[in-house]
Structure 1
Amino acid sequence: MTTKLTGAGRLAGVIGWPVTHSRSPLLHGYWLERYGIDGAYVPLAAERDFEGVVRGLRAAGFRGANVTKPWKEAAFALCDVVETSARRIGAINTLVFDERGVVGSNTDGFGFLAGLGEAGIAVSGQRALVLGAGGGSRAVCHALDEAGAHVTVTNRSRRRAEQVAENLPGIAVIDWERRSQAIGNCDLLVNTTSLGMAGSEPLDIDLSRGRATLCVSDIVYVPLETPLLRQARQSGYKTVDGVAMLLHQARPGFKAWFGVDPSVDDTLRSLVLATLGR
């Protein structure tokens, strides 16, 4: 089915600088065609004046937009409403324009949990160890905490890990040097650091202490199988790669802008994997 865009079409996009790396137009374009929706999702390269761009899009009838670097902090300043999850995480990646004004949310945690669910991984009551203390870590920790997991976070800088825990009472913090030792007591290990990403240094961790039921997840998706996931697979553990989170985090925005809760299928995953050189 080929979607035809009319004057009544719904519009959304992704704002960033640069924006050429974004796979969001591919994801949303696929869903628009699949569901036969009169609409379009476009890349919006905004080098400056983020507020002016957002105000202009709203005035032009856009339903909203995703936000990527370097504008995630600026998004907070102009939102009329910031949803609780985004406020606790400290980052906004989705804007919706409605009767409330500019509404900001963060869908990364939703995407992470949906990816685990797709893989058949239970969360409630499980013990999770999260590596890292950046925006990705905050989104993952918040989602796991909300889903009823017992979360421990660790980072090379302990102070940054403590800052994650300050916004999420009940989350434990351990020293980075104890990361391998702590694996023996967890059901889920999540890497949110850049360690293991293409061009970065590897993540040094010993998985031998893990139980047979351990699940290992990495939100990095370049490479698709990071050294951590390779080590986990070779050790017989279940793994969840970063593409699952990438695909599912796009769903709430699409639903808000275009009125359909889209599903993630093998065709979409294959399209995205092709952009990763797979």
Structure 2
Amino acid sequence: MSMPFAEVIGDPITQSKSPVIHGFWLERLGIEGEYNRCHVTAGELHGYLDERRADANWRGCNVTMPHKQAIIPFLDRVDAMAARIGAVNTVVCEDGALVGYNTDAPGFLEPLRREMAQTHLFRMARILGTGGAARAIVAALADAGAVLVLAGRDPDKARAMLDALDPDGEHHAAPLSHFAEPTDFAFDDREGCLDLVVNASPLGMRGQPPLPFDFSHVPPRSICYDIVTVPLRTPFLEQASQRGFRTIDGLSMLIGQADHAFRRFFGARPPRGEDDELRRRLTA
């Protein structure tokens, strides 16, 4: 008997952890459904969507590299946030129409929901990296009322990203090298403020160069957030923890964005009270 299914597509695709996440939730909720990986090349993308659109059991797909932008012209409609970010990571079949969403933005904010529900005198985020993930993070934090310092190897690219995603915001662009050197800036205690330092780059990932960062740039009471998932405890997070800062790892965003996609695919809330067990499976 056929059953509802969703999947993740990309090229390559074997590295994706999405089947573990969605499969765990389907199992725990007792939902008759499947979530698979599907290798789709750039040349196969249009044909893949035409074929899946005709399948009554297909609920949609998550989209990973390198298709997050390339898939947009083949969709019937794109959600406003996804259009603004310029990337789609979730496609849902809604009454026969293929609709694109970006769940990276709300997924990034999910582990910060308690802080975002509070009132602050000032919110500032230092974001390191100007790639595709950074676009979703910039849009999410700008909408949450944060003043942003976006750092990249090319400050002009950082400036252009800020201007495109939040043209009315009073944000700042900086070279990534600025954060590699010590600063003697005297921070106040930042009571009543929310400060974030986010590594939105692949630096620090296994097989990549280390993140060049000096912790003299981190204000007191900051939260340090790294979206890298391999290794889960990056050198950046380890150093932050040793200095007494609260840390958030890359699985938090990965699980958070999957939560938003799962609801659209299967019409149910994931059992988030079991995140500890899910993490054990993801890191086994």
- TM-score w.r.t. the length of structure 2 is 0.87
Whole-angstrom CA distance in 2 between matches of 1:81 and 1:33:
31
Q: Where does residue 109 of structure 1 map in the other structure?
A: 105
Question: Retained in 2: the 8 A contact 1:14–1:66?
Answer: yes
Q: Aligned-pair distance for 1:121?
A: 3.8
Q: Where does residue 178 of structure 1 map in the other structure?
A: 178
3-state DSSP class of the match of 2:233? coil
Q: Where does residue 242 of structure 1 map in the other structure?
A: 250
Q: Where does residue 259 of structure 2 map in the other structure?
A: 251
Aligned-residue Cα RMSD (Å) equals 2.0
Question: Retained in 1: the 8 A contact 2:89–2:102?
Answer: yes
3-state DSSP class of the match of 2:149? strand
Give the number of equivalent residue pairs.
266
Residue among 81, 84, 104 paired with 1:85: 81
Question: Retained in 1: the 8 A contact 2:29–2:271?
Answer: no
Q: Where does residue 159 of structure 1 map in the other structure?
A: 156
In the alignment, is residue 191 of structure 1 matched against residue 196 of structure 2? no
3-state DSSP class of the match of 2:91? strand
Q: Aligned-pair distance for 1:31?
A: 0.7
In the alignment, is residue 11 of structure 1 matched against residue 21 of structure 2? no
Whole-angstrom CA distance in 2 between matches of 1:266 and 1:89:
31
Question: Retained in 2: the 8 A contact 1:116–1:240?
Answer: no
Q: Aligned-pair distance for 1:42?
A: 1.3
Whole-angstrom CA distance in 1 between matches of 2:96 and 2:80:
15
Whole-angstrom CA distance in 1 between matches of 2:146 and 2:257:
20
In the alignment, is residue 66 of structure 1 matched against residue 76 of structure 2? no
Q: Where does residue 71 of structure 2 map in the other structure?
A: 75
Whole-angstrom CA distance in 2 between matches of 1:144 and 1:121:
12
3-state DSSP class of the match of 1:244? helix
The one-letter amino acid of 2:174's match is: D
Question: Retained in 1: the 8 A contact 2:159–2:173?
Answer: no
Whole-angstrom CA distance in 1 between matches of 2:68 and 2:91:
10
Cα separation, partners in 2 of 1:139 and 1:91, compared to 1, 3 Å:
same
In the TM superposition, what whole-angstrom CA distance separates every residue of 1:81-107 from its partner, at most 9, and x where no partner exists?
A: 111111111111100011261100111
User: Is the deviation greater in 176-185 or in 198-207?
Assistant: 176-185
Whole-angstrom CA distance in 2 between matches of 1:239 and 1:256:
29
Whole-angstrom CA distance in 2 between matches of 1:204 and 1:38:
47
Whole-angstrom CA distance in 1 between matches of 2:282 and 2:160:
34
In the alignment, is residue 138 of structure 1 matched against residue 119 of structure 2? no
The one-letter amino acid of 1:270's match is: R
Cα separation, partners in 2 of 1:41 and 1:238, compared to 1, 3 Å:
same
Q: Where does residue 191 of structure 2 map in the other structure?
A: none
Question: Retained in 2: the 8 A contact 1:183–1:207?
Answer: no
In the TM superposition, what whole-angstrom CA distance separates every residue of 1:131-154 from its partner, at most 9, and x where no partner exists?
A: 111111111111111122222211
In the TM superposition, what whole-angstrom CA distance separates every residue of 1:20-60 from its partner, at most 9, and x where no partner exists?
A: 11111111111111111111111111233101101111101
Residue among 27, 50, 53 paired with 1:55: 50
Moved over 4 A (4+): 180-186
Question: Retained in 2: the 8 A contact 1:96–1:102?
Answer: yes
Question: Retained in 2: the 8 A contact 1:153–1:171?
Answer: no
Q: Where does residue 203 of structure 1 map in the other structure?
A: 211
3-state DSSP class of the match of 1:174? strand
Q: Tell me the percent identity.
A: 40
Q: Aligned-pair distance for 1:73?
A: 2.0
Residue among 63, 66, 90 paired with 1:94: 90
